[in-house]
Amino acid sequence: DGGITQSPKYLFRKEGQNVTLSCEQNLNHDAMYWYRQDPGQGLRLIYYSQIVNDFQKGDIAEGYSVSREKKESFPLTVTSAQKNPTAFYLCASSKGQGSSNQPQHFGDGTRLSIL
Amino acid sequence: GQQLNQSPQSMFIQEGEDVSMNCTSSSIFNTWLWYKQDPGEGPVLLIALYKAGELTSNGRLTAQFGITRKDSFLNISASIPSDVGIYFCAGREGAQKLVFGQGTRLTINP
């Protein structure tokens, strides 16, 4: 099936630990995105990438890092510098790049909690 | 970052009723999208709008791109239990990133 796969579904982090969330897509989409969702709130953009080996900060990039070494993969690392990491993390992808207005399609999310 | 004003924040309705929700922005958008999110899952695209005044349907769902390009609404007719969830609008200004509304939580009493 074509789609966006996020793993794991649930993730627990200890204080001071870095964790990496996986996002893979087989839709041949150029652009990929990471969002954070807190209870009762909308989605806030962490990082996005419009093409392989390139990415830009979103609205809340502090404490996070990403890489885009392959078109189909866009992993997100939540570093120990992120003091409030408990949230639902959503990965998305879309066709095209630049000014393309193609809609974004989402994975099923990873819920990160602090132990 | 910029956010859209989505209303209402929540709705409690009886099964079979029609539903209406809307989003407004201070900026002019060239794209409006409507998504539905079930608990513990990612948002699913319902309708995409690309032209001012455009009216698009998807089954019992109808959405319109406001003529001023600063607003959009979503209507659901004859609601059923599986319509329960959170509905998000999202808009794009030019080549900028998508901006999301804060969601409308829909609850249906059978």
Residue A111 CA to residue A41 CA, distance in Å, equals 15
Confidence of residue A16 (pLDDT cuts 50, 70, 90): confident
Angle at B103 between CA A103 and CA B97, to 5 degrees: 35
The better pLDDT of the pair A36, B98 is held by A36
Interface membership of A95 toward B (CB under 8 Å):
no
pLDDT score of B97: 82
Residue A48 CA to residue A34 CA, distance in Å, equals 6
Q: Which of B32, B18, B99, B47 is nearest to A42 (CA)?
A: B99
Residue B102 CA to residue A40 CA, distance in Å, equals 7
Task: Say if the Cβ atoms of A108 and B44 lie within 8 Å.
Answer: no
Residues A17-30 have a mean pLDDT of: 95
CB pairs under 8 A between A and B: 57
Does residue B52 surpass a pLDDT of 70? yes
3-state secondary structure chain A: CCCEEEECCEEEECCCCCEEEEEEECCCCCEEEEEEECCCCCEEEEEEEEECCEEEECCCCCCEEECCCECCECCEEECCCCCCCCEEEEEEEECCCCCCCCCCEECCCEEEEEC
Partner residue opposite B100 with nearest CB, options A40, A42, A48: A42
Does residue A36 surpass a pLDDT of 70? yes
CA distance to partner chain B, nearest, from residue A28 (Å) = 18
pLDDT score of A2: 66
